[in-house]
Amino acid sequence: MKKITSALVALGLGIALSASVQATSNDEAVAERIKAVGSVCIEGDDSCGGAAAAPVAAGGTRSSEEIYTSKCAGCHATGAAGAPKYGTPEWADRGAKGMESLLASAISGVGAMPPRGLCMDCSDEELQGAIQHMLDSSK
Residues of this chain that interact with ligand HEC (CB under 6 A) are 67, 71-72, 74-76, 80-84, 94, 97, 101-102, 105-106, 110-114, 117-119, 122, 127, 130-131
85: which DSSP letter? P
* Residue 56 Cβ vs ligand HEC, minimum distance, rounded to whole Å: 21
Nearer to ligand HEC by C-beta: 127 or 137?
127
Nearer to ligand HEC by C-beta: 122 or 137?
122
d(CA 78, CA 85): 6
Nearer to ligand HEC by C-beta: 54 or 107?
107
The length of the chain is 139
d(CA 99, CA 131): 8
DSSP-based three-state secondary structure for 97 = coil
* Residue 89 Cβ vs ligand HEC, minimum distance, rounded to whole Å: 14
Nearer to ligand HEC by C-beta: 54 or 119?
119
d(CA 76, CA 82): 9
* Residue 76 Cβ vs ligand HEC, minimum distance, rounded to whole Å: 6
* Residue 55 Cβ vs ligand HEC, minimum distance, rounded to whole Å: 22
CB 48 within 8 A of CB 39: yes
Q: Does the CA dihedral 114-117-123-124 come out positive or negative?
A: negative
